[in-house]
Amino acid sequence: MKLHPITRRRLLLGAGLAGAAVVSACAPGESVPSASGSATGAAPEVTDPAELGDVELVVWDQEVRGSQNDALVALIAAFEEKYPNITVNRTSQSFDDLKAQVSLALSGNDVPDVVQVNNARGDMGQFVKAGQLVDLTPYAAQYGWEDRFPASVLSKVRYSGDATTFGEGNLYGLPQTGEIVGLFYSQKKLDALGAEAPATWEDYLALLDEAKAAGEQPMVLGNIEKWPALHVFGPLQAHYVEPETIVQLGMGNAGATWTDEANVAAMEQFATWGTEGYFGTSPNGLDYDPAWTEFTQGTGVFLPGGSWLATDMEAVMGEDLRFMPPPPAVDGKLATTGGTGIPFSIPAKAKNVAAAAAYIDFITSEEAMQIIADNGGMPVLRTAELAPESGVQKDIYEAFDTVSQEGTLLPYLDYATPTFSDTAGTGLQEVLGGQKSAQDVLADFEADYQAFVGG
C-alpha cells in the first residue's frame, strides 16, 4: 500500500507471466537512450535484454510493506528467470529514506539503474528540470506503454522537458499500482436511515442533512495533520468546478484561477460542513488514524478517504464497510482525487538504461498486474477484471477502473506547487475551523499558484 506523498503514507508466478515483456525491435532511426545510459539520437545497438551481456541492475524502491514486497519479489524472480544474464541488485527502504537518498544521489555519479521517484513537482518535477531523469518516451513506443496505460494514468508521470508543464509532454516513469479517494460508508447506517448510496451530489448533500437530523455524525475527518482535508475538498470541488480546470490547478499549470465563482461555491460548502458540525465537534483536533478507527467503531455514516484504508477498516467492519466514488462531477462524468503508486524511473546517469527499461516494462506488464492483485495490492491496470468477488475491495477496484478509464483521475492538490501542501493544508484548516472565509483562503491559494506559474 502506498500512502499519498504528503502523508508519509503470495503466489507463484504462472507461465503466462514468463512470456511477458517480450522486447520488440525499435523502428528504424528511433531515438532511445543507449544501454550505457546516455541519450542518443539513434536506436541502441542491442534491443533484446537477453543480448546485453552480463548486467547487474541496481534497483532502489520503497515497496517495503508485505503485499508490496511479496509482489515485487515474485516479479524479480520471474524477470531473472527470463533474462538469466541480468541480476537485480535491489535495495528497499522507507519512502522518506528513499526520498532523501534519491535527492542526493541523482546529483552525483553513483546512481541506481531504476528508482522510484515521487511524481509531484517538488520531486520528479525538480529532477526533470535538472535533467536528472531519462525521458522514457522512446521506450513507451518500443513496448507499447501508451496502448497499455490509460491517458489519465500516464498524465501523472508526464512533464515538459523544462518541467514547466505537468501532465503533458515526456514520460518519466511508470507505476504498478493505483489509489483512489472516495466515500467509505456503513451499510448498516444507511439501512437504518432507510437510504441508498447517493447517485448524485444533490442526493449526497441531502443524505448528510438527513443523517445529521437523525442524530448521526454525517462524516468523519481527522485533520490535525492538515493534508486529510485535501481528500475531502478535492472530490467536493468537482461538483462545482470543471474537472479539466481542477487538473490545471492541481498540476500547477498556467491558465486557471482559484478565485472564480465555482471554486468559491465549493469552498463555502466545505466551510459549512466544518462550522455546522458535519465532521463532528473538532475535526482539526483529531488525528488521521484515530479518526478512521472511530469510524470502524460506529462513529459517522461516511468517511471520505483513500483506498489504502480499506484493508485495516475491513478487518474490523467486515461486510458492513462499503466504498463508492463520489457522485458524477459537474461535467456528468466520474471525477475524484486519486493517482498511482510511486512510479519507477531511470536516472539520467544510469549505467544500464536498456535493461532498466526492460525491467520497468516487465513489472508493469498486464501479467504482472495479476501478481500484484494476488498479493493484496490494487493494480493500476486490469483493475475491474482482477477485483475480488465481493467486499469493499471489489467496490474500490471497480471504482478505480471506471474513473481511470472513463472519467477523470484528479491530481492531489498538493502537486500544484512546491509550497502548495502547506498553503492548502493551512487554509483548509482555517476555513474548517471558521478562522478564515472561503474567499480569503482561496486568495491565499491563488497567490501561491500565480507566484509559481508566473501570473
Q: Burial letters for 164-195: b for 16+ Cβ neighbours within 10 Å, e otherwise?
A: bbbbebbbbbbbbbbbbbbbbbbeebbeeeeb
- Mark whether 102 and 197 lie in a shared domain: no
The verdict on residue 5 lying in a domain is: no
- Mark whether 159 and 109 lie in a shared domain: yes
Domain C-terminal end among 328, 359, 382: 382
Q: What was the pLDDT predicted at 311?
A: 85
DSSP state of 122: I
The cell for 109 is: 555519479
- Mark whether 183 and 173 lie in a shared domain: no
Residue 29: pLDDT over 90: no
SS3 309: helix
The cell for 139 is: 521506450
The verdict on residue 77 lying in a domain is: yes
Partners of 39 in beta bridges: 33
Q: Is 448:454 a contact under the CB 8 Å cutoff?
A: no
**What digits encode the pLDDT tens for the residues 70-91?**
889 999 999 999 999 999 999 9
Q: What was the pLDDT predicted at 45?
A: 52
Count of domains observed in the chain: 2
Q: What was the pLDDT predicted at 178?
A: 92
SS3 323: strand
SS3 101: helix
The cell for 71 is: 509482489
Residue of 37, 51, 52, 29 whose CA lies nearest to 110: 37
- Mark whether 229 and 357 lie in a shared domain: no
Q: What was the pLDDT predicted at 30?
A: 34
For residue 353, what are the domain limits?
26-177+341-382
Phi, psi of 335 (to 5 degrees): -150, 130
SS3 10: coil
Q: Rounded distance, CA 325 to CA 13, Å?
A: 32
Q: Rounded distance, CA 283 to CA 115, Å?
A: 37
**What digits encode the pLDDT tens for the residues 104-135?**
899 888 999 999 998 888 889 999 999 999 99
The verdict on residue 390 lying in a domain is: no
- Mark whether 132 and 214 lie in a shared domain: no
The verdict on residue 391 lying in a domain is: no
Residue 300: pLDDT over 50: yes
- Helix residue ranges, H only, 155-223: 187-193, 201-213
pLDDT-derived band at 4 (thresholds 50, 70, 90) equals very low
Residue 224: pLDDT over 60: yes
Residues in the chain: 455
SS3 184: strand
- Mark whether 188 and 160 lie in a shared domain: no
pTM above 0.85, yes or no: no
Q: Is 238:326 a contact under the CB 8 Å cutoff?
A: yes
Residue 2: pLDDT over 50: no
Q: Rounded distance, CA 369 to CA 371, Å?
A: 5
- Mark whether 139 and 106 lie in a shared domain: yes
CA distances from 114 to 79, 106, 172, 360, 374 (A): 14, 11, 11, 8, 24
Q: Is 86:355 a contact under the CB 8 Å cutoff?
A: yes
Residue of 128, 59, 118, 116 whose CA lies nearest to 87: 59
- How far does Cα 160 stand from its chain's mean position? 20
- For the ranges 84-93, 101-110, 202-211, 424-433, the lowest mean pLDDT is seen at 101-110
- Mark whether 213 and 285 lie in a shared domain: yes
The cell for 76 is: 524479480
CA distances from 136 to 224, 246, 344, 348 (A): 39, 26, 11, 11
- Helix residue ranges, H only, 238-386: 243-250, 261-275, 288-296, 310-317, 353-363, 366-374
Q: Rounded distance, CA 357 to CA 365, Å?
A: 12
Q: Burial letters for 3-42: b for 16+ Cβ neighbours within 10 Å, e otherwise?
A: bbbbeebeeebeeebeebbebeebeeebebbebebeeeee
- Mark whether 229 and 321 lie in a shared domain: yes
Amino acid at 206: A
Q: Rounded distance, CA 412 to CA 323, Å?
A: 19
The verdict on residue 18 lying in a domain is: no
Q: What was the pLDDT predicted at 18?
A: 36
The verdict on residue 19 lying in a domain is: no
**What digits encode the pLDDT tens for the residues 346-370?**
999 999 999 999 999 999 999 999 9
pLDDT-derived band at 270 (thresholds 50, 70, 90) equals very high
- Helix residue ranges, H only, 334-437: 353-363, 366-374, 392-406, 420-432
- For the ranges 3-12, 46-55, 110-119, 212-221, the lowest mean pLDDT is seen at 3-12
Residue of 450, 380, 381 whose CA lies nearest to 419: 450
pLDDT-derived band at 46 (thresholds 50, 70, 90) equals low
- Mark whether 324 and 302 lie in a shared domain: yes
**What digits encode the pLDDT tens for the residues 395-421?**
999 999 999 889 999 999 988 988 898
**What digits encode the pLDDT tens for the residues 313-334?**
999 999 999 999 999 999 999 9
- Mark whether 156 and 51 lie in a shared domain: yes
Per-residue pLDDT, averaged over 156-165, amounts to 93
Domain C-terminal end among 357, 382, 407: 382
> What CATH number should be reported for the domain holding residue 308?
3.40.190.10
Q: What was the pLDDT predicted at 377?
A: 83
The verdict on residue 356 lying in a domain is: yes
Domain C-terminal end among 349, 382, 415: 382
Q: What was the pLDDT predicted at 297?
A: 97
pLDDT-derived band at 455 (thresholds 50, 70, 90) equals low
- Mark whether 212 and 264 lie in a shared domain: yes
The verdict on residue 301 lying in a domain is: yes
Q: Rounded distance, CA 44 to CA 30, Å?
A: 9
